[in-house]
Amino acid sequence: MENLKKYLPWTIRIIISFLFLISAVAKLYPSPYFAISTFEVKQLYPMGFSEDFAVYFSRILIGIELALGLLLLQNNFLRRIVIPATMLMLVVFTVHLTIDTLQTGGNSGNCGCFGSLLPMTPIEAIIKNIVALILLVIYLFVTPKTATEKSNIWVLGTVKFASILALFMIAPIQPKTVEVSTETAIEQPAIETQTNVSVAPIEETPTTETVTETSEIAKLVVDEPAKTKSGYTQYFSNIDQGKKILALFVPGCEHCRDVAKELTEMKAKDKNFPKIQIVFMNEEPEKIPDFFAFAGANYPYKIIEVIPFWKLLGNNKDTPGIIYLWNGNKIKEWDGINEKKFVGSELKSLLKKNYSEIKK
């Protein structure tokens, strides 16, 4: 029992410290600016944070997580400040996750606790937080209040300030501008899809039947949606003309590469396949040549920054994103790798249909 009381407090502190440190580091994976921007768009924006406030809150929050992880391993104001602050943060996170679970079910999606490094559903995160809170309560119970504790407030202030400053240094806030690259790739020759038309048959031989006025005149029936503005012409000026495929990809995303390759194979089998145009996230843009090499073809593309990219795709959506447009109208959208993922057979089926058939 004595050995348990001796080693248990430090064991608990190391475990909770590890959880907070890995949580902070994971939110910077695979690269700090990309990871933090994604955290802002997918976690903070849906909570009502403004763009201006989110860029500061995200860095401060992760900095505090990092600071608490470090401060749990020292003895200054441990019981009086560090442990209560750690418990308070866990309670706040748990309350938020509980509300999210009640609203969405909590069985899917990534809560963002460990970024994209270790995806975790809200329910899993709640369980993790409750276990951490129980361990901290046990720590307070088994550690006597008379235990020696240092009182150097400068240690707390320095670690906290340094941790927050480090986040602003490794992931500087970028200017609020949408920089669109003028770089394009030459697409392999392809025939644009022609407007679907149907012509009423004309009788070539005389008939004794009564011929009505409508049967005597061949009428051209255009079965396509009325032209509208998709909102994507700032990237591709011709995207609202006829049938187009708009793809939203990340250069280093394996799933994006697989979808691009599938689209190339579909295009090779169909001479009337819609023109493919790509918007890349400005994350590892040096991988774009390898991306096209894997896909098997080059396509016109633009590059935009991380946050504008997520907004373009949709805050609650994920890559790869595919949009089938017809005269600027969104006929079908696919995103991510789960239930809404791109399915080539669905697109192939839609391409064969007239607009009146699709609307049914």
Q: Does a structural domain hold residue 236? A: yes
Question: What's the residue count for the chain?
Answer: 360
Q: Does a structural domain hold residue 178? A: no
Element (H, E) at 331: strand 329-335
Residues 194 and 327: their CA atoms lie apart, in Å, by 12
Q: Does a structural domain hold residue 177? A: no
Overall domain count for the chain:
2
Contact indicator for 317, 45 with CB cutoff of 8 Å: no
Radius of gyration of the chain from its Cα atoms, rounded to whole angstroms? 28
Cis peptide leading into 119, omega within 30 of 0? no
317 token code pair: 């959506």
Residues 156 and 339: their CA atoms lie apart, in Å, by 46
Identify any residues that bridge with 280 across adjacent strands, giving them in sequence order: 249, 303
Same domain, 15 and 119: yes
State the residue for tokens 């949580």: 23
Contact indicator for 66, 167 with CB cutoff of 8 Å: yes
Q: Is the pTM of this model over 0.85?
A: no
Provide the residue range defining the domain that includes 292.
225-359
Q: Does a structural domain hold residue 296? A: yes
Same domain, 164 and 233: no
Per-residue pLDDT in tens (0 to 9) along the chain, 360 residues: 566 677 899 999 999 999 999 999 999 988 899 999 999 998 899 888 999 999 999 999 999 999 999 999 999 999 999 999 999 999 999 998 888 788 776 566 777 788 777 888 888 899 999 999 999 999 998 887 767 789 999 999 999 999 999 999 999 998 765 444 444 444 544 333 333 333 344 343 444 444 444 444 434 457 899 999 999 999 999 999 999 999 999 999 999 999 999 999 999 999 999 999 999 999 999 999 999 999 999 999 999 999 999 999 987 889 999 999 999 999 999 999 988 999 999 999 999 999 988 876
Same domain, 134 and 43: yes
Contact indicator for 350, 193 with CB cutoff of 8 Å: no
Q: Does a structural domain hold residue 352? A: yes
Q: What is the pLDDT of residues 251-276, one digit of tens each?
A: 999 999 999 999 999 999 999 999 99
Q: Does a structural domain hold residue 111? A: yes
Phi, psi of 252 (to 5 degrees): -95, 5
